[in-house]
Amino acid sequence: MKADEKIEKYDVALVGGGLVGAVAALSLSQFTDRDFKLLLIERPDFASPKRHEGRAYALSEGSRMLLEMLGLWQAIEPHAQPIEEIDITDSELETVFRPVFLHFEGEIAMGRPGAYIIEHEVLAEPIYDQLFKAQNIHIHTEGAFSGLETGIESGLDAAELLFDDGSETAQALFKADLVIGADGRGSRVRDFAGIKTFTSDYNQDGIVVTVELRQPHGGKAVQHFLPSGPFAILPLTNDRASLVWTEARGVAAEMCALSDDEFIGEVNKRFSPKLGTVALSGRRGHFPLSLLLARSFIGPRVVLIGDAAHGVHPLAGQGMNIGFRDVAALTEILVETRRLGLDIGGDVALTKYQTWRRSDGVMSAFAMDGLNRLFTAEASSLRELRGFGLRLVDRLPPVKDFFVKEAAGVNGDVPKLMQGLEI
Segment of 20-29, 195-204, 210-219 carrying the highest mean pLDDT: 20-29
What pTM value is reported for the model?
0.89
Q: What is the CATH number of domain 8-70+122-198+290-376?
A: 3.50.50.60
The domain spans of the chain are 8-70+122-198+290-376
Q: Give the model's pLDDT for residue 202.
A: 86
**Between 332 and 409, residue with greater pLDDT:** 332
pLDDT in tens, 103-147: 767 666 556 788 899 999 999 999 999 999 998 999 999 888 999
Q: Give the model's pLDDT for residue 46.
A: 85
Nearest to 391 by CA among 2, 46, 89: 89
User: Cα torsion at 48, 52, 56, 58 (round to 10°)?
Assistant: -90
> What is the β-pairing status of strands 310-311 and 229-236?
unpaired
User: What is the sign of the dihedral through the CA atoms of 80, 274, 371 and 103?
Assistant: positive
The mean pLDDT of the chain is 85
pLDDT of residue 197 exceeding 90:
yes
Nearest to 127 by CA among 25, 37, 53: 25
Q: Give the model's pLDDT for residue 386.
A: 59
Mean pLDDT, range 315-321, rounded to an integer: 81
Q: Give the model's pLDDT for residue 351.
A: 97
Q: How far apart are CA 347 and CA 296, in angstroms?
A: 14
pLDDT of residue 290 exceeding 80:
yes
pLDDT in tens, 65-102: 999 999 999 999 999 999 998 888 877 766 666 666 67
pLDDT of residue 322 exceeding 50:
yes
Nearest to 173 by CA among 185, 159, 186: 159
pLDDT in tens, 375-410: 665 645 555 655 555 555 555 555 446 555 556 566
Percent of the chain with pLDDT over 90: 52
**Between 152 and 222, residue with greater pLDDT:** 222
pLDDT tier for residue 164 given thresholds of 50, 70 and 90: confident
pLDDT in tens, 26-49: 999 999 988 999 999 999 888 876
